[in-house]
Amino acid sequence: MENDVRLMVGVAAGVSVLVLAACDRSGGEKSLSVAEGKQWAVDACRTFPAAAAAKAASVPVSSAIAGARSTVGGIQVSTCTYQTSANASFTVLMRDWGDKGGGAAKTIAGLRAVPDITGPVSELKVEGASAYWVPKHHTLSYIPDDTRVVVVTPPVSPGASEAALQQTALALARAAAAARPAAS
């Protein structure tokens, strides 16, 4: 588990530390088909393109830049950084444990073991998913089901309240979780 945590923190460098928890799906996004599930986290920019991110964040996005991508043991991770027309940026990380499932519960245990890195963590009440806000890093971890997670560092505008950042991050995370990979 220690290597798993290090891999995730390394992939999310600049995005911040991930805080995850398992959830029992009772609603929210529609489940992915088997084919979609195998591709959902392969390329975050392809799955959640700039236009979709702009709509969810309610900010103009001028570009989407693919970041780190990794597939190890059937676990897929990818990031996409979106540049706004105001020269700010925000990042979305997608992780899919595939057939392994249950990865969220393992990861939350590992990350909670490093509070010096994560700082305090707040659980947000959301329907049909689990969501955790890390104010120290302005990062939201959104878990729509037991195999996938979306981590969002939202665009920060001067004077934005913590609540506004959380709402923007949650809108981005929900939209990314509901996104389907674009055809190749």
pLDDT band at 106 (very low <50, low <70, confident <90, very high): low
In a domain, 70, yes or no: yes
Q: Which residue has the higher pLDDT, 93 or 113?
A: 93
- Residue 123 reports pLDDT greater than 90: no
In a domain, 183, yes or no: no
Average pLDDT of the chain to the nearest whole number: 77
In a domain, 115, yes or no: yes
- Provide the domain limits for residue 111: 2-178
In a domain, 184, yes or no: no
Please report the beta strands in the chain, taking only residues with DSSP state E, as ranges in sequence order.
61-72, 75-84, 89-96, 122-124, 130-134, 139-143, 148-153
What local confidence, expressed as pLDDT, does residue 9 receive? 32
Per residue in 27-53, pLDDT (tens digit) is 334 444 444 446 899 999 999 999 999
d(Cα 91, Cα 81) in Å, to the nearest integer? 4
What local confidence, expressed as pLDDT, does residue 103 receive? 64
In a domain, 40, yes or no: yes
Coil, strand or helix: which one is 112?
A: helix
- Please report, rounded to a whole number, the percentage of residues in the chain having pLDDT higher than 90: 41
Per residue in 124-168, pLDDT (tens digit) is 889 998 888 888 889 999 988 888 899 999 998 878 899 999 999
For 66, 96, 103, 151, the CA distances from 133, given in Å and listed in that order, are 24, 20, 19, 10
| Full-model pTM | 0.78
Q: Which residue has the higher pLDDT, 122 or 34?
A: 122
pLDDT band at 12 (very low <50, low <70, confident <90, very high): very low
pLDDT band at 75 (very low <50, low <70, confident <90, very high): confident
In a domain, 146, yes or no: yes
Q: State the total domains in the chain.
A: 1
What local confidence, expressed as pLDDT, does residue 1 receive? 40
- Residue 6 reports pLDDT greater than 80: no
What local confidence, expressed as pLDDT, does residue 2 receive? 38
d(Cα 32, Cα 97) in Å, to the nearest integer? 13
